[in-house]
Amino acid sequence: MAITSGTRLGGAPINFLRPCLLLLLEESPGHGYELRDRLAELGASSPPDTAIVYRALNAMENEGLISSRWQRSTEGPQRRCYALTTQGREALGGWALQLAELDLLVGGVLRRLDARAC
């Protein structure tokens, strides 16, 4: 049975999209469609809907975690290019701590599940 309630990013909770986008933007600025495609590099089994990515980007920009500017494109209309702000870098650091704790918890659960199977 797959757990799907409230999930949007390869089975992960939708809020997990935020640290993923912040990390990708720390690596290099990008536009929404590109960022959605780059999520696969993090192991997402299926990319989230583009509208969900743009909603997350807009919310993070409103919170000051990222900034954006219009960028000319050689292949069509201008695109909004997103970049990480200082506040976004700090938020990513906070996410890193939370995810490390979650990693320990998930590891513990998986070890107990493996032991149960023996």
Would you say residue 94 has pLDDT above 60?
Answer: yes
Chain centre to alpha carbon of residue 74: 27
Would you say residue 5 has pLDDT above 70?
Answer: no
Residue ranges per structural domain of the chain: 9-117
Query: Residue 12 burial by CB count (10 A; 0-12/13-18/19+): exposed, middle or buried?
Result: middle
CATH 1.10.10.10 fits 9-117, yes or no: yes
Note the pLDDT of residue 116.
87
- In what side-by-side order are the strands of the sheet with 30-31? 30-31, 79-84, 66-71
Note the pLDDT of residue 75.
80
Q: What is the pLDDT of residues 9-26, one digit of tens each?
A: 444 555 789 999 999 999
- Spatial distance between the Cα atoms of 16 and 42, rounded to a whole number of angstroms: 12
Q: For all residues of the chain together, what is the average pLDDT?
A: 86
Q: What is the pLDDT of residues 35-74, one digit of tens each?
A: 999 998 888 778 888 999 999 999 999 999 999 999 988 8
